[in-house]
């Protein structure tokens, strides 16, 4: 089994840039299968990236945005 990821965002951007047509991700998967670039099995396994949170830890969660003793108080 291949571990290669298929970046539908990249393919979508390339199609848009070259044709001016903005396709939905399901339509792109259908076209990739029709052109025999991927199999139906591969198409059904493609995960559409919504954000990067599943790949990276967010160390900003839980940090306070307010800071006490700010140096801006001094005039």
The per-residue pLDDT for 68 is: 52
What residue numbers bound the domain in which 34 lies?
1-47
Q: CA 2 to CA 31: how far, in whole Å? A: 20
57 falls within a domain: no
63 falls within a domain: no
What's the full length of the chain, in residues?
75
The per-residue pLDDT for 1 is: 39
Q: CA 30 to CA 15: how far, in whole Å? A: 14
DSSP letter assigned to residue 73: G
65 falls within a domain: no
Decide: 32 and 39 in contact? Cβ < 8 Å.
no
Average pLDDT, the chain: 81
CA proximity to 12, closest of 27, 56, 4, 2: 27
Domain total in the chain: 1
pTM of the model: 0.62
Average pLDDT over residues 18-30: 96
59 falls within a domain: no
4 falls within a domain: yes
């Amino acid at each position: 089994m291949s571990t290669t990821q298929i970046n539908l965002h990249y393919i979508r951007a390339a199609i848009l840039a070259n044709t001016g047509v903005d396709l939905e991700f399901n339509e792109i998967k259908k076209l990739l299968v029709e052109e025999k670039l991927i199999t139906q099995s591969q198409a059904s396994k493609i995960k559409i990236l919504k954000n990067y949170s599943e790949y990276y830890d967010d160390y900003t969660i839980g940090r306070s945005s307010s800071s006490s003793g700010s140096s801006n108080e001094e005039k």
